[in-house]
Structure 1
Amino acid sequence: MSSLEHQQAPLCGHDAPGEGDPPTVLPPERLLDRLARAMGVAAGEQIVHVETLDAREPSYGDLDPPLPALLRNALAEMGIARLYTHQAEAITHVRQGRNVVVVTATSSGKTLCYNLPILEHILADRDARAIYLYPINALVNDQLKSLFHLNVALGQEAVGVARYTGSLSSHRRRAARARNPNIWLTNPEMLHLSFLLWHQNWEELWRNLRYIVIDEVHTYRGVFGANMAHLLRRVLRMAAHYGADPQFICCSATIANPKELTESLTGRPFHVVDQDGAGRGRRFFVLWNPPLLEDGAANVRRPYVEESVDLLLHCVRANYNTIVFARARSLTERMLRVSRALSSGAKDASLSAQITSYRAGYLAEEREEIEGRLRAGDIRGIITTNALEMGIDIGGLDAAIISGYPGTIMSTWQQAGRAGRRGRDALVMLVASQNPLDQYYINHPRAFFAQPHERAVVDLQNQHIRLKHLLCSARELPLTADELARMSPEERDLVDDLVQGELLVPCDGQDGQNGALTYPPSRREIHLGVSLRAASHETYRIVDAQGQEVGTIEPPNVYREAHPGAIYQHGGDDYRVTYLDRQRKVVRVREERLPHYTRASSALTVQVEGIYATCEVRGAAWPYRVVLGDALIEERVHSYQELRLRGDEMVRRVNLDHPLVTRLHTTAMWVVVPPPLRLQLQAMDPLPGDTVEDGSAGTEAPAALDAALHATQHLLTGVMPLLVMCDRRDVGGYYHADHPDVGGAAIFVYDACQGGIGLAEVAFQRVTELLALAHSTVAGCRCREGCPSCIQSGVCRLRNTVLSKPAAIALLSALALDGAGRPVVSPADAVTEDRLSAQGTPGGAARVALGRARALQELEERTRRRSLMDRVASAAGSPAVTARFAPGDRVELSPYGRGVVLATHLEDHHEILTVRFAHRGVVRRINATRSAVRKVE
């Protein structure tokens, strides 16, 4: 057998410097000492904990039979002499025909786990084809370079490889199709819009498809994961149509449920390879808490963004190639501006040019240029979002600064793994913000390093997503009579609803398609109305005064970051938004020179649209209800603040001429406060007058009840990522002291995406754990009156007014603890309405019915082709529409019968009603301008 061994990189610092080599750098532990001195670290303050992760020797495995000599020689030319144990194990399972998911650390050579067995197969069968799927184009470009090096080593036996992404010109895509390569590198969007939609042009690929590679499979969760699961089912249907049965090879970061995730995505059984055989250098992982400001009693710390920028500059000055991960796109731009301003002096004249940012929203050419400069070593400091969290080869990095806990343990270790690649020692610093989740881990460092990785959730029951993919499937290939006969009763009901709504129609009977159903060609192209990464399909172009495209942005960010008057930051440049064209999806901007930034203000309302599961929990003194149901979330961006970049001093506050409204139909969980507890909180002493946004004192003291509800809402949404893999932005919260739909005080936690993604259901099933985590967070905080580490939130619409720590503790103690002060036992067996469905989803049948009604209405409206008169009227500007209906009106519409208007709004010269009909409680969005809906007494 052959002996293939990975060449080892030095374990500390850079190589010994030669001509053109970078200078030698300090070992991480010495750099940490230097940082402590430079940052004025007080003993036991900023540096809360240092975890030293020992170096690990690699372990190697062998293949039986060995790889073909051609491949062994190609690997030898690349400096690889042996395979790691996980690589050998994965290749063995692939050879045996199993679907495999490889779960090992960053930079462990996962790509060889699929490249080698696929190349081995293609060398033996030149007709074989493979599709490699990547979530971002940067990974496509990266893998193309890796396969290029392998092909160079293969010489005349090289296999055909091509990338196929939307960033390529149509000419280059045509040229790639003409070459008809063995391996296609692409993304889910191109699979959806080209490979499937125009499958007749890809017949040879589909007939010979042997492998589908899904890299970074852990990214396919939430909305993206639900879309991906339905997309892959369409892929397998298409492959079967052409007589192929492809095998899956997946690679993932470490998560708690890789087998469950891949099987949910594909519907196929998987074998897990998770024993990492790769070696690594030492890693020093530092938990860093910014220092308290001079008024330490307020428990307010220096902004973590400023602390991160200072650490970045010190690392780069010490010749450390450093990456900074920020939690939001806007923060990358602010940090870049501050870092360049601080390094603009004569001493750091060359430093400013060596620091840049990288995030979604940049044009493809910008991102590729930055990636190339990183690999070439022209950039020493890079500030990014999680866009560079994945395994893109960006050269050797010595330090990673994680600016704020990214929301999941999985993402934290992915980001940490970007430093110390190629076996070098590395320094990792997690700089904590003051949100409760960050401070929880700062106060419990052992819990952080012992915390298991999260589960990735994929919700296959989202009706908005499910219906769109079913229609796409029927558009690609008619649903045959045999397929319809094999459907479950629930699936057949779904098809019947689509037929009734004329979204599926019978085929014309030609080509043996009697009894088959297809998507009607008279409607708009359904594939163009599907966004795989979000519940909506709207991308706004950002265009400057010269007509040049600056970047792109999608809802809901467009209303919050690109409203009229907003300052939009891009690549270190500032632009003022002059006009938001919602019809053409264009944001017009001009250059802005003032060193300011803007922050939008919005108001939120929640309407209950349906209930499909409840449970009763016995608290310390009184039982209370927890409900899972359907909700309409309405957010109105009504004004914005303009602030100075340095010091956050407010310059002005501006009201928008027309509020920007976003409506979200989703799943929510809410806790109903029992009436005796509500009265107890109302009887508490009123709180001191709060400070309102303009800095003046509030005129009325807020009630303790409102302050308790508000603080608890912050805590529940803040600790939600401890229960399930999600970003804090995936979950929304709301409270009301006397909600009209609930009949009392309630706290809501909802999925922040159209149709829901299953997170509220997890909160419902594990509500007592969620409440206990919130209680331990606030009760364990050392502040007296509440602080950013417990009850305050960085995304609070009320600017953290109307909050009370004592009131929150009183509320959570009554909800989370029993009479003996112990955590309440989980109420999972107490569901009283529409018990757990076969899919394990509370209230599955009711949720399907309500979600389907909304989704059908939306699809019917979005796919209807507008007449010429409609388009002319829209272009000319129709007269204003007068509202004829109001919430609470009783209406009638055939075939639904009678119902009650829940909400109304005007949209593109039409009056849109949200109506709950009496029959089965169905909720529909009705265009009152076009339909025959009428008022009834």
Structure 2
Amino acid sequence: MITKDPFVLNIMDRLREILNTELVYPVHIHVEEYGEPERGPCVEDTDLPDELKKILINNGIRYLYSFQWEAYRKIISGRNVVIVAGTGTGKTEAFLLPIFKYIYSRKKSNPEAILVYPTKALSRDQLKRIHNYLGYGLFTASVYDGDTSRKIRERIVNNPPDIIITNPDMINLGLVFSQHIRNFINKSRFFVFDELHVYEGVLGSHVKYVIERIKRFKKNNDYVFIGSSATIGNPKEFAETLFGTEVDVVKGPYRRRGKAVHVAITTGGLSRWSVSAALAKTLAEQGFKFIIFADSQQMAEVAARIISKNYGLEVYVHRAGLPAETRRMVEMKLRDGLINGVVATPTLELGIDIGYLDSVILVSPPPTYAKYLQRSGRAGRRGRVGYIFMILGDDPIDAYYERNPSRFYEQEIPPSYIEPLNEEVLKIHLIALLLQESRIHVRDIQPYWKRVLNSLQYQRLIVQTGSYVYPNYRLARIYFKEYGRIRGTGPLIDILDETTGEIIGNRELPQALLDLHPGAVYYSFGKPYLSTRIDLDEMKAYVKPLPDTVSYYTRPLYTVELVDLYEIRERISDRGIPLTYAHVKLDFIVEGYVVKQYGESEDKGQRKLLNNPITYRFETKAVIVKYPLLFENWGLIEYAEAFHAIEHSIISATRPVCGASIWDMGGISYPNGRIVYYDGVVGGSGLSLLLFNRYEKAEDIAYEILAKCDCEDGCPRCIYSPFCGNNNQILSRLKAFKILYNVLKGEAKHVRKQIEITYSKPIV
């Protein structure tokens, strides 16, 4: 569908003029408008305290929306609730008002509620927002986290406010090390986890067990858990998985009142980064403020450099790994209109106050439609239209959506996911639980904890005496201090500037190997560095500054080998394909890299090999698939070409099917029909479990990718991957299509053999 929006058409004309091509054009434009949410009761007619009614009316709130009133009644009655409503629709009031009512009606030692936000920046931002209610002296609230000064902490401890605002990291550590945090938790009745959709993947696995530790610490049922999210596809299932208890769902509108224009743009074979940069220039000429979202830290840095150098715009980077004060400075400059825009990773998806923006540019389709809604909700000022531009480049999923844009814009919000059996996560939280409680009776240890008991005993971190399990206090505390962080599971590599000795950042393994192998160009807040070496024993990477004139970046070339596995569950797909979900041990080997000039297309670049490849061994989760060998006249090479191409196309399909980003999943293919799809983080993220359950849907999309491409036998729009370890050799779109065509017809249903894994090095 293309709606003839005059402003968008003018923008496109100017964009083509800047790029000097007619090949860049919109494949989809549609307008959506949202009116006022359904009204509930007038504030005067509610049972809120009179003083609180006056505060609401003074803030321009004369009635509640129906979803706010529904949430209010459920929370007041003690129900656990998850509230799903769009950015700017009043979710905060939906959970704050019942908490205020409860606080007002009781005279009890504080705090009464703990509000948990995923980042420290968001905690402080939300404190500013609720100051509208605090300024009248009825209620008090304070932020208590790692950035809170000692003096303010002492004041909070001596005179606790009604509401503590913190993050899950602080609770995780505080339950073990801080009597003050334990006191806050013990006294509080309400636990609010805002931005609930953030707690998926590895972070969600951690938060699930932090919540379990909260519940065990309180030792009674006097608590109410509240979740809040703008975008979540399975709110009841997901919230109940995290909270470990029954939850009621309250649904509000997906978007705030206003108008938004959504545009999908094909690059016509140009680099998505060149098109995004030129679009930023075009919007800046109109006086627009914008955010550009990229899913890779390093590509966000590259995009900002292209925009600044090519067009002279003042554009900053906002991403994880930058110092907190740097991110706050960027937020302030954007909020105050001092810069044209920001290139951000998902760090700015959340509700941090950055003012009102005119436009959002997405350099590629986000991993999930939920993330698209979250990011697009950033666009639009009061009384002005919000414009959302999504760039479709030369890769299989972009080409899929270019052919079928309605499949992107009309899709349902996918479910959120966690992997509760991540053993690295389980180890951390069983150690934490033992340090909290001093000992646990064997009968009280849940089956999932028992999965890691032997490993922890072998590491001498715990001991069992009679019917009780105890922590080895000295070693357990050291272990928890070193590994107890909840933002990931892999070890951290410090990045050192070898000319100054200064640590300029850190990266988690195995991703660190991809960003910091020798020869890699690493960008930090616009400055280019060359990685000279990485030491996996010292957990350090050494870099040196490059001239600011650098106009290229690097992409790693790597292979992965399966070392060992044990099966968790099995099934036969609807098409007769055996699937195994397994815990696997992998060798991750970086063998070289590709040097790419800014603006160069995905299939271009200079390939370089390392003299000494670097190997990192880690354990994660994976799906193992066994395809049949259907054609007697095919030999080893023909099957290798087919299954390698199927591997690439299925990994592409995990983006819309599982919400995987480009780095989240990888694959290994064998010419005997076995393909391994693995989570790219230590211990597993839950994505491979989603793929295990949805493999047929991934096959359908992979089949369409292969069938609809008009190339000869492989190209970037169907089966080529910029990360392929052998530079996209031994690949055949036509042979992969032939295999999947027959599988989808049901030709594989006679295959019933148990999967037997070959441990030798795969051909591809």
Letter in 2 for 1:602: Y
Query: Residue 114 of structure 2 contacts residue 191 of structure 2 at CA under 8 Å; is this kept in 1?
Result: yes
Measured against aligned partners, the alpha-carbon deviations of 1:860-901 in whole angstroms (never above 9, x if no partner) come to: xxxxxxxxxxxxxxxxxxxxxxxxxxx99xxxxxxxxxxxxx
SS at match of 1:340: helix
Q: 1:633 aligns with which of 576, 586, 589?
A: 586
In structure 2, distance between residues paired with 1:339 and 1:411: 24
Gapped regions of structure 1 (runs ≥ 5):
1-26, 292-300, 345-351, 508-513, 684-702, 738-743, 834-886, 889-901, 904-937
Q: Distance in 1 between matches of 2:750 and 2:285?
A: 53
**Mapped contact 2:558–2:724 kept (Cα < 8 A):** no
How far apart are 1:169 and its partner, in Å? 4.9
Q: Is the 8 A contact 1:614 1:832 kept in 2?
A: no
- How far the C-alpha of 1:115 sits from its partner, in A, is 2.2
Cα distance 1:808–1:277, how it changes in 2: closer, same or farther (>3 A)? Answer: closer
1:32 match: secondary structure: helix
Residue 483 (structure 2) pairs with residue 522 (structure 1): no
In the aligned structure 2, how far is the partner of 1:573 from the partner of 1:148? 38
Report the Cα distance in structure 2 between the residues aligned to 1:813 and 1:665, rounded to whole angstroms: 34
Partner SS state of residue 114, structure 2: strand
Match of 1:671 among 614, 625, 641: 625
Paired AA for residue 190 in structure 1: M
What is the match of residue 278 of structure 2? Answer: 310
Match of 2:201 in 1: 222
1:197 Cα deviation after fit: 1.1
1:660–1:245 distance in 2 versus 1, CA, 3 Å: farther
Task: Give the alignment partner of residue 327 of structure 1, picking from 277, 295, 298.
Answer: 295
Q: Distance in 2 between matches of 1:402 and 1:227?
A: 29
**Paired position in structure 2 for 1:564:** 518
| SS in structure 2 of the partner of residue 410 of structure 1 | helix
Per-residue CA deviations over 1:145-188 (Å, capped at 9, x if unaligned) read 11233322x1x3341x2223334455554454444333222211
Q: TM-score, normalised by structure 2?
A: 0.90
Whether 1:755 and 2:683 are equivalent positions in the alignment is yes
How far residue 233 of structure 1 moved from its aligned partner, in angstroms, is 0.1
Q: CA deviation at 1:216?
A: 1.0
Candidates 99, 117, 132, aligned match of 1:149: 132
Is the aligned partner of 1:134 residue 2:134?
no
Alpha-carbon distance, 1:44 to partner:
9.5
Q: Which residue of 1 aligns with 2:379?
A: 419
What is the CA-CA distance between 1:30 and the residue it aligns to?
3.3
> In the superposition, relative to structure 1, how do residues 812 and 372 fare at CA in structure 2: closer, same or farther (>3 Å)?
same
Q: Per-residue deviation at 1:234? A: 0.4
- What is the identity percentage for the equivalent residue pairs of Structure 1 and Structure 2? 27
Between stretches 745-754 and 28-37, larger displacement belongs to 28-37
Residue 86 (structure 2) pairs with residue 105 (structure 1):
yes
Task: Kindly indicate whether the alpha-carbon contact (under 8 Å) linking 1:606 and 1:631 is maintained by their aligned counterparts in 2.
Answer: yes
User: C-alpha deviations, 1:619-663, integer Å up to 9, x for none?
Assistant: 6xxx65433334322111233344443547999766546433222
Whether the 8 Å contact between 1:405 and 1:433 is mirrored in structure 2 is no
Point out which structure has higher relative CO (alpha carbons under 8 A, 6+ apart). Answer: 2
Q: CA RMSD in A?
A: 3.2
The farther-off stretch of 464-473 and 646-655 is 646-655
- 1:193 matched to which residue of 2? 173
Kindly state the Cα deviation for residue 524 of structure 1 after the two structures are TM-superposed: 4.3
Q: Which of 132, 139, 142 lines up with 1:162 in the alignment?
A: 142
Contact 1:363 1:550 in 2 (8 A): no
With over 3 angstroms needed to count, the CA separation of the structure-2 counterparts of 1:590 and 1:167, relative to structure 1, is farther
Q: How far did residue 380 of structure 1 move?
A: 2.6
In structure 2, relative to structure 1, the CA distance for the partners of 1:780 and 1:672 (3 Å cut) is: same
Matching residue of 1:712: 646
TM superposition shift of 1:727: 3.1
Report what 1:504 is aligned to: 462
Separation (CA, whole Å) in 1 of partners of 2:438 and 2:459: 17
Distance 1:182 1:541, change over 3 A: farther
Distance 1:219 1:181 in 2: 27
- What SS does structure 1 have at the residue aligned with 2:29? strand
Structure 1 residue aligned with 2:59:
78
Distance 2:101 2:499 in 1: 54
2:697 corresponding residue in structure 1: 769
Which of 184, 189, 210 is the aligned partner of 1:210?
189
Matched, 1:268 2:245: yes
For residue 777 of structure 1, give the secondary structure of its aligned residue in structure 2.
helix
2:262 matched residue in structure 1: 285
Structure 1 Cα separation of the partners of residues 64 and 384 of structure 2: 19
Does 707-716 or 635-644 show the bigger shift? 635-644
Q: Which runs of 5+ in 2 are unaligned?
A: none
- CA offsets per residue over residues 580-620 of structure 1, 9 Å max, x none? 4545544343321141323333222123423454455686x
Contact conserved, 1:102 with 1:110, CA < 8 A, in 2?
A: yes
Contact 1:280 1:424 in 2 (8 A): no
The aligned amino acid for 1:184 is I
Query: 3-state SS of the aligned residue for 2:673?
Result: strand
Q: Per the alignment, in what secondary structure is the counterpart of residue 54 of structure 1?
A: strand
Please say if 1:597 is aligned against 2:553: yes
Partner residue of 1:35 out of 11, 15, 27: 11
Give the deviation of 1:774 after TM superposition: 1.0
1:485 corresponds in structure 2 to 443
Map of 1:837 onto structure 2: none
Contact 1:720 1:728 (8 Å CA) reproduced: no
Q: 1:459 aligns with which of 411, 419, 436?
A: 419
- Corresponding residue to 1:723 among 657, 660, 685: 657
For the Cα contact (< 8 Å) 1:666–1:751, is it kept in 2?
yes
Task: Go from structure 1 to structure 2 and tell me whether the alpha carbon gap of 1:579 and 1:618 turns closer, same or farther (over 3 Å shift).
Answer: closer
Aligned twin of 1:533: 487
Distance 1:319 1:628, change over 3 A: same
**Residue 337 of structure 2 corresponds to residue 377 of structure 1:** yes
1:754-833 equivalence runs, <5 A: 754-818=682-746
Which of 385, 389, 405 is the aligned partner of 1:429?
A: 389
Query: Per the alignment, do residues 37 and 470 of structure 1 end up closer, same or farther by CA in structure 2, a change over 3 Å counting?
Result: same
* Length-normalised TM-score, structure 1: 0.74
TM superposition shift of 1:34: 1.4
Secondary structure at 2:474 match in 1: coil
Matches within 5 A, 1:912-927: none
Q: Is this contact kept in 2: 1:543–1:551, CA < 8 A? A: no
Q: Which amino acid is 2:145 matched to? A: T
* Structure 1 residues 785 and 318, CA gap change in structure 2 (3 angstroms): same
> Once the 2 structures are TM-superposed, how far is the Cα of residue 339 of structure 1 from its aligned partner?
0.6
Deviations 1:299-323 (A, max 9, x none): xx11111111111111111011111
Decide whether aligned partners of structure 1 residues 755 and 583 sit closer, same or farther in structure 2, where only a CA change above 3 A counts.
Answer: closer
Aligned to 1:468: 428
Q: Secondary structure at the match of 1:681?
A: coil
Give the match for residue 400 of structure 1: 360
Q: Is the 8 A contact 2:110 2:160 kept in 1?
A: no
> Are residues 1:180 and 2:160 paired?
yes
Counterpart in 2 of 1:249? 226
| 2:26–2:265 CA contact under 8 A, matched in 1 | yes
Q: 1:552 to 1:496 in 2, by over 3 A?
A: closer
Higher Cα Rg: structure 1 or 2? 1
- CA separation of 1:386/1:491 partners in 2, compared to 1, >3 Å: closer, same or farther? closer
Counterpart-to-counterpart distance in 2, 1:664 and 1:386:
26
Q: Quick one: which amino acid aligns to residue 306 of structure 2? A: V
- The structural deviation recorded for 1:326 is 1.0
d(CA) in 1 for partners of 2:746 and 2:46?
62
Aligned residue identity for 2:257: R
> Structure 2 counterpart of 1:798, which letter?
N
The 1:307–1:506 alpha-carbon spacing in structure 2 relative to 1, beyond 3 Å, is: same
Could you list the per-position Cα deviations for residues 212-258 of structure 1 after superposition, in whole angstroms to 9, with x for gaps in the alignment? Answer: 11011111112111111111100111122xx6722111111322211
1:729 match: secondary structure? coil
Aligned-pair distance for 1:536? 2.1
